[in-house]
Structure formats: C-alpha cells, structure tokens
Amino acid sequence: MLTQECERRGLMVVEPSKKTEDINVEIVNVVATCKLPFKVDLEALVAKLPNNVKLNSRYPKYRCAYLKIEGMRSIVTIFSSGAMICAGSRSVEDAERDLTIAYNIILNHAENLNKANMDSASTHRKLIDSDVH
C-alpha cells in the first residue's frame, strides 16, 4: 500500500532488500508547505483570533505565528511572507485540509493587506470560489 501511494505521488520506490523486509513502516507525521499569494499581517491576525493564533516568542529571529483551531489535526505555522508550514498531521489529506482551513481563516480575517495584496487575495478568492461551485 505504501509503495502504491508513493508511486501515485511520483516518488521513486526502491525495492527493499531481504534485510529490510521485516521493517514495519508507519507514517506518523506529514509536513506540508504552501505559499499564499499575499503577505500576512501577523499582529492583525493575532488580534482577531487571540485564542487560536500565537506569535512565535521562542525564536524572535523567525517572524511567524502558530494557528490551531478545533477540528484541525495539526498546527500551521504562518510567516508574514505568506509561507505556511503544516506539521503534525498523519496523512496528506489532513495536511491539505488544515492548510486550506488556515488559508480561509487568513483570507477572511486579514484586514491590513496593502492594496496590491488585497487585489491578489480577491482574485485568488474568486478562483477558489469558482472551483468550489
């Protein structure tokens, strides 16, 4: 099953040697990334959702916030550049779902995007809405 899933996703599969046939492989953590088409005002996001979004205070060098809401199976790290990292999910589908949830939350609560970014976000939202319907 794992071999078929890897092949389906275009990954190279190396047949196990006789020494490794007894190894039981289990996927326990999926890490996924995506890049939003606009920058994110992390402070505004935290102000809107103080119970669900926390600014990174442990590593001040990295300008990011952590998003976790009920129903999400992972934590999404959001950078002001628009990059997002989802870590902790147990499947690709869960990671995609959590990144989509994060994207929609950011898009719906971002209020301090500059005009160019807002135009990009609005265009992107129209594309997603047209795909849904």
Q: Is 0.85 topped by the overall pTM?
A: no
Structural domains present in the chain: 29-132 (3.30.310.10)
Is 87:34 a contact under the CB 8 Å cutoff? Answer: no
Instruction: Answer for the pair 78, 45: CB distance below 8 angstroms, yes or no.
Output: yes
Least confident span in 10-14, 17-21, 38-42, 120-124:
120-124
Q: Pick 51 or 27 by higher pLDDT.
A: 51
- Please identify which residue in the block is written with the tokens 């997002």: 84
d(CA 102, CA 105): 5
Give me the mean pLDDT over the 60-78 stretch. 90
24: exposed, middle or buried (Cβ count in 10 Å: 0-12, 13-18, 19+): exposed
